Amino acid sequence: MVAALVFTVVISATVKAPIRIRSATQAITWNETAIVIGIAVAPTSWMVLCTGIGLAIVVRLLHLPLIKAVFTISKNTLMVAAAGTTLTALGWSWPPSEVQRMVVPLAAAFAVLVVLDEAIAIPVIAIASRTKIRNQFSANWDLRLIGFLMRFVVAVSTLVLLMVETWLLVAVPPLALSLHLAYSTRVRARAERQAWQDLAHTTDALNVVDINAVLHTAVARAANLFSADEVEVELRESRRTVRGNSEAVTYDCFTTKPSTIDASVIPIEMKGHDGSDIGVLRLRFRGPVKLSEREQYTLRTFASALCTAIRNASAYAELNRVAEEHAHAAAHDALTGLANRRHLLDRGAEQLGQRRTEGVVALLLIDLNHFKEVNDTLGHAAGDRVLIQVAERLRTAVHGEDLVARLGGDEFAVLFHGLPAPAVAAHRAEALLTALHEPIELDGMRISVEASGGIAVAPSSGGMTELLRRADVAMYQAKRAGRRIATYAPARDTADLGRLSLGGDLRRAVADQEFTVNFQPIVDLGSGEVVAAEALARWRHPARGTIDPLRFLETVERSGLLPAFAEAVLDQSLIAVNTWREAGFDLPVAVNVSPRSLLDARFPGSVLARLRAHDLPPDRLVLELTETLTLSQLEVVDQVLGQLRDAGIQLALDDFGTGYSSLSVLSRIPVHELKIDRGFVTAMETSAEAAAVIRSTVDLGRSLNLSVVAEGVESEPQRRALWELGCAAGQGHLFARPMPAARLLAALHQGAGGRPGTLAPALHDEGAVVRLSPGRRSGPRRVERLPHLPA
């Protein structure tokens, strides 16, 4: 009996359907059939012993590893003990009294065997294949169920034959063999069908155009497809190696590093249809593995698909590279690598569409002076080298998202984006042209680069085409005037036909006194006291209404009526000063002076004559100068300004810091006052750059003993910030808008908080600051300073 049972266990364990998982081979055996027959005809203890002996013989015959041998013997002896105990508990005895009564106990014992087998084996298989246990339980459940039923039927049939006629047992082996072959064939068919489906899904997954995705997908899918511990793809041309498993890519580099898995390696060359050597695909296993014929064919098919995918992805990458090169070439200058005109127009159009939320857009147009001489003297190759260095300096000097472009020849452009205020554009433009000032070393020679720049702020209509035109107008104005930078102003744009039509009305306007003057008070920022007023001319046209000076000043300058216009404005301004003096408010008045007036040697005499006619001392008049960078270099301008200052008339430099003026101007023009452009004041709370310009201007005024006035003060935080920086005075809508002289006088009488002569409450208590007299515009300038402010 014992020998028969041992023999049955050996046979049931060796007749199996093998399944490879990585480098290990699992098998579907007939153990359950042998166990059920054994526990049915013999005591459970005998069957446990026979199972152990039989499986030990199998382990010896098959040379199984120790860990696998221990696992197999332990699992099966546990199953025998559990099934035998179940059968005994159900009152089983051999032989049973009736054939009909044997099915239920045997089914219960077989169910215990199946549950234990599944509960122990499935998690081990899941761990070995690195899959989820739940997925492993659900995989091929129908085949496993058929196999269990088949083995149960064979076991019951064998026991029935033992009860009826022993000699009939000769029919059991052919029956078991045929069932085993049918079942094995079905298992293999299912496995092959699944393998082909996996291969199809894998090759579909390789059908992408990104080379990284192809290689990473190939590694992960091949590890699953061939149940490999590691997959490696090595490309010949790039020397790139990608290595990993079904869970992750563990190595991706353009140098080769040995793998840690070397027990069993199955390589296959990847060659193109033209015979080109693409690379090699390697499957690695931790133990010895031999692929089946079907697996070898699958590997060749997969390698061919991978080879095609790599070539397609490489071709797509090359097409992308060429397309990007063409797109870059279409949008960039070939010589300097800067953006070209097309790119500038596209970027500008995009930014103009966003300017409502992203700040001011402005354009600087730069033209190199005398560049033709470099080409004619040193040749075009030297000229190209100069252009390349100029481009590099501009590229290095620009802020963040500002775009530098070469429009052609020696013409460059810089698109400013997200400016806090228009005035900041001039400040940045000055910095860029300063970066070009350093000489360029060329074949042992030092070549000085000079340039002219024109600035334009984005218009309300016309888009980039109009912005480029305006910057071009400003640049040529700078060139004609011999200045480094000019900012576009509609008043100087000869393309404005509406403004030109005003020229015919000028003579009538001067004769009929259509020009009037409004006054905007200048206020002591600390005390709120009015210390001066600026005269602002207006043209009250009978048909067009009030016209701003920017629209008619250039026309006046070119009409020959400038002296008459200037005298009319000066007369109205001095009459207002006298009116205020008689009312007890001794305020000087600031009047803007046209640069053309400074070219007239008779201008100082005319001004002094008007002062005498109104019986006013010269220090009650402040002349505000603009755009005098080039004019200050002319001898006649030096003489005119010298005469005005010697006569006691005060001089102020307007829009300081915007590019109209520079430090070099202060060494030539004898000014008493600097006026900070309103654009910097508007932006100072949000722009560190604007605040730095204001701070440096105040410090400069303090060091040169000049007054500093801030324009465009519109809020109390701006007022206090300027005051704390040391700026003594300001003007703007916070205090008052421009108004007629009589209305300003009424406002002075009323005062602020019952204090006549003031337009705002004081920022400090009485006596907390050192106050200068209301006539502090006369005589040497002195800057008010709070005790707690830094010197």
Average pLDDT over residues 167-190: 58
In this predicted model, which residue has the larger pLDDT, 125 or 430? 430
* CATH code of domain 341-488: 3.30.70.270
Out of 347-351, 611-615, 653-657, 767-771, least confident range: 767-771
CB count, 10 Å around CB of 341?
Answer: 16
Using CA atoms, how far apart are residues 628 and 619, in angstroms rounded to an integer? 22
**Burial of 288 per CB tally in 10 Å (0-12, 13-18, 19+):** exposed
Mean pLDDT on 583-589: 94
- CA pair distance 189, 193, nearest whole angstrom: 6
Q: Answer yes or no: same fold for 2-196 and 206-327.
A: no
CA 303 to chain centre: 40
The pLDDT assigned to 122 comes to: 72
Q: For the chain, first and last CA: distance in Å?
A: 115
Q: Regarding predicted confidence, which is higher, 319 or 353?
A: 319
Which residue from 511, 494, 422 is spatially nearest to 459, judged by alpha carbons?
422
The yes-or-no verdict on residue 500 having pLDDT over 60 is no
414-425 residue pLDDT tens: 999 888 888 888
Q: Percentage helix, strand, coil, to 5, in the chain?
A: 55, 20, 30
| Confidence band for 181, pLDDT divided at 50, 70 and 90 | low
Contacts 24+ apart (CB under 8 A), 601-605: 601/636, 601/639, 601/640, 603/566, 603/640, 604/640, 604/643, 604/644, 604/647
Helix (H, G, I), strand (E, B) or coil at 230: strand
Which range, of 94-103, 246-255, 566-575, averages the lowest pLDDT? 94-103
Write the single-letter amino acid at 226: F
For residue 491, which of 464, 470, 513, 509 has the smallest C-alpha distance?
470
**Which residues, in sequence order, are CB contacts of 105 under 8 Å at separation 6+?**
87, 90, 91, 92
Structure tokens at 611: 């002062």
Q: Does domain 524-750 have CATH number 3.20.20.450?
A: yes
Q: Which residue has the higher pLDDT, 229 or 759?
A: 759
3-state secondary structure of 716: helix
User: Residue 771 has what pLDDT?
Assistant: 44
Q: Mind spelling out the 3-state secondary structure of 121-177?
A: HHHHHHHHHCCCHHHHHHCCHHHHHHHHHHHHHHHHHHHHHHHHCHHHHHHHHHHHH
Q: For 89-144, what is each residue's pLDDT tens digit?
A: 887 777 776 766 777 788 888 788 888 877 877 777 667 666 677 766 666 666 66
Of the candidate ranges 143-147, 176-180, 408-412, the one whose mean pLDDT is the lowest:
176-180
Which of 31-35, 321-325, 335-339 comes out lowest in average pLDDT? 31-35
Distances (CA, A) of 491 to 183, 373, 496, 553, 596: 98, 34, 8, 7, 14
pLDDT confidence of residue 262: 67
How many CA atoms, within 13 angstroms, populate the side-chain half-sphere of residue 640?
A: 24
**What dihedral angle (degrees, nearest 10) is formed by the CA atoms of 782, 784, 789, 790?**
0
Please give the Cα distance from 692 to 322 (Å, whole number). 46
CB 704 within 8 A of CB 675: no
Mean per-residue pLDDT for 326-342?
A: 87
Residue type for position 114: V
Average pLDDT, stretch 383-394?
91
Paired strand residues for 419? 360
In the prediction, which pLDDT does 167 show? 59
Taking the complete model, does pTM exceed 0.75, yes or no? no
The whole-number pLDDT of residue 465 equals 84
SS3 state at 670: coil
Residue of 562 and 667 predicted with greater confidence:
562
CATH topology of domain 2-196: Arp2/3 complex 21 kDa subunit ARPC3 (1.10.1760)
pLDDT band at 379 (very low <50, low <70, confident <90, very high): confident
Mean pLDDT across 63-67: 75
Give the right CATH number for 206-327 from 3.55.50.30, 1.20.1250.20, 3.40.710.10, 3.30.450.40.
Answer: 3.30.450.40
Token pair for 482: 């011999």
Domain ranges of the chain: 2-196, 206-327, 341-488, 524-750
Q: What is the DSSP letter of 346?
A: H
Mean pLDDT of the chain: 79
More confident residue, 771 or 47: 47
Provide the 8-state DSSP code for 617: -
- What pLDDT was estimated at residue 350? 86
Q: What are the pLDDT digits (tens) for 519-563?
A: 999 999 999 999 999 999 888 877 777 776 766 776 677 667 788
C-alpha radius of gyration, the chain, whole number:
49
pLDDT at 228: 83
Whole-angstrom distance, CA of residue 89 vs CA of residue 83: 10
Give yes or no for residue 604 having a pLDDT over 90: yes
For residues 32 and 153, the answer to whether their CB atoms sit within 8 Å is no
- Does residue 374 contact residue 364 with C-beta atoms inside 8 Å? no
Q: Lowest-confidence range among 180-184, 488-492, 540-544, 763-767? A: 180-184
| 8 A C-beta contact, residue 759 and residue 528 | yes
Say yes or no to pLDDT of 499 above 60.
Answer: no
pLDDT band at residue 779 under the 50/70/90 scheme: very low
Among the residues of 265-292, which ranges form H helices? none
473 alpha-carbon distance from chain centroid: 35
pLDDT above 70 (res 393): yes
* High-pLDDT (> 90) share of the chain, %: 23
pLDDT band, residue 517 (cuts 50/70/90): very high
Phi-psi region of 732 (alpha: psi -120 to 50; beta: other; left: phi over 0): left
Q: How far apart are CA 565 and CA 508, in angstroms?
A: 12
- pLDDT for residue 787 is more than 50: no
d(CA 39, CA 43): 6
What percentage of residues in the chain have a pLDDT greater than 70? 79
**What is the per-residue pLDDT for 443?**
73
Q: Of 766, 765, 654, whose CA–CA distance to 711 is shortest? A: 654
Query: Rounded mean pLDDT of 353-363?
Result: 74
CB 549 within 8 A of CB 537: yes
